[in-house]
Amino acid sequence: MRKNLAVGVVALALVSAAPVAGQNRKSVVGDAQLGFMETLQTPEVTCAGGEPTGLSFPVCSEGTQRILGRNEVQLWVPATLSDPIRDLLTGTITFVVNCTFNPEYRGPCWGTFEWEVPGVGLWTGSWVAPVMDLVTYESKLSMVGFGAGGQIDGMQLKFDGGSAPGDWYISGQVRIH
């Protein structure tokens, strides 16, 4: 009986040490906070049911039912990065931004990004924000990108985060595989 118990304990120890299905030991996880720097290209704006005002805000006249912003280009930078991801995500992020807002300037946004990391490589991908509010700055954001060049070549980047009303930064978790 003791021999069977010993064999069972050794077998359990070996199974426990084996990686769990779907677990990738090469993944790096960390926290990031992204901050807006500047608009490089203003959006093309369409005011359904209204007229553009020519102002930075409000961009459409009263009576507008839907506000379409297309092809805006924004420059962002990581404001803070936790240690595990810091070396893979410095540099600047260029976002191409498209949005469809209701009259209260709230709605979904989407687009592409390029995240240039000096001396490391370039992340390129797409992003989506099912919630973006230009009045309160509340947002939810998900990014998926792939690395090219240097040490990130062939790697995948995932970022899921958001901002609370009144918060200028988008905070979230980064997973790099």
Read off the pLDDT of residues 130-151 as tens digits, 9 standing for 90 and up. 999 999 999 999 999 999 999 9
pTM exceeds 0.85 for this model: no
Read off the pLDDT of residues 2-41 as tens digits, 9 standing for 90 and up. 344 333 333 323 333 333 334 445 899 999 999 999 999 9
| More reliable by pLDDT, 16 or 54 | 54
- Cis ω for the linkage preceding 130 (within 30 of 0): no
Read off the pLDDT of residues 114-130 as tens digits, 9 standing for 90 and up. 999 999 999 999 999 99
Closest CA to 137 of 148, 125, 129: 129
Can you give the pLDDT at residue 22? 41
- Please give the structure tokens belonging to residue 32: 């990031």
- The answer to whether the CB of 126 falls within 8 A of the CB of 109 is no
Domains of the chain: 24-176 (2.40.350.10)
Can you give the pLDDT at residue 3? 42
Residue 168 binned pLDDT confidence (cut-offs 50, 70, 90): confident
Q: What is the C-alpha to C-alpha distance for residues 133 and 87, in angstroms, rounded to an integer?
A: 31
Residue recorded with tokens 């209701």: 102
Tell me the torsion sign for CA atoms 11, 16, 17, 21.
positive
